[in-house]
Amino acid sequence: MKKEFHYSKYQQGRLILSRLFSGAVILLFAFTRNHWETTAEILTAALFLAGCILVAVATLGRLWCTLYIAGYKTRILIEEGPYSLCRHPLYFFSFLGALGVGLATETLTIPLILAVIFAAYYPFVIRFEEKKMIAEHGRQYEDYRRQTPCFLPRWPLLKEPEEYLVHPCIFRRHLFQSLLFVWLVGILECLECLKEMGWLPSLGVLY
């Protein structure tokens, strides 16, 4: 019981940290102007399109992951669906989503910042969670770890059952988090409109 409480506190702390990062990115975008808007309109359009594609892929991927783990989490070792491709598909799709939101700002600075933060932070998250899984599942997880890549999916490894028991109430509660990157792109677009109307001051320039 004590371990589970500690793990829950860790998850809450990680969620708070993610929200702080998201808020910081929104504030940075809100009070800066984009250098490329007036110098390379084709580049800004390409960046936004790439960002939307990554956010779409990330959202579908996160929903796919949630379908398999909602209601199970660490209690049962999930080795099917996205978890047959790599051990941390949720983080892989989250990385794509963060990169997509960064590109949707139509800058190169913000996606670079987000990629560096992700690369610096998530290896520690993965190590912590893998220690937890080894403690919970022992040899079974060790075998899974040897057979399955850590972060980058390998599509030939895909295994899916014909049927899978889903907990609809728990899945529904996780839907909002799965759509996080879609909400963020929507917020960015609203802020872009406010900047074009002159309602937000520009305190700097992003490239």
83-118 confidence digits (pLDDT tens): 999 999 999 999 999 999 999 999 999 999 999 999
Nearest to 179 by CA among 111, 105, 93: 93
pLDDT score for 10: 64
pLDDT score for 75: 75
| Residue 196, CA atoms < 13 Å, CB-side half-sphere | 8
Q: Report DSSP letters for 137-199, one per residue.
A: HTHHHHHHHHHS-SSS--GGG-B--S-----HHHHHHHHHHHTHHHHHHHHHHHHHHHHHTT-
Name the pLDDT band for 76 (thresholds 50, 70, 90). confident
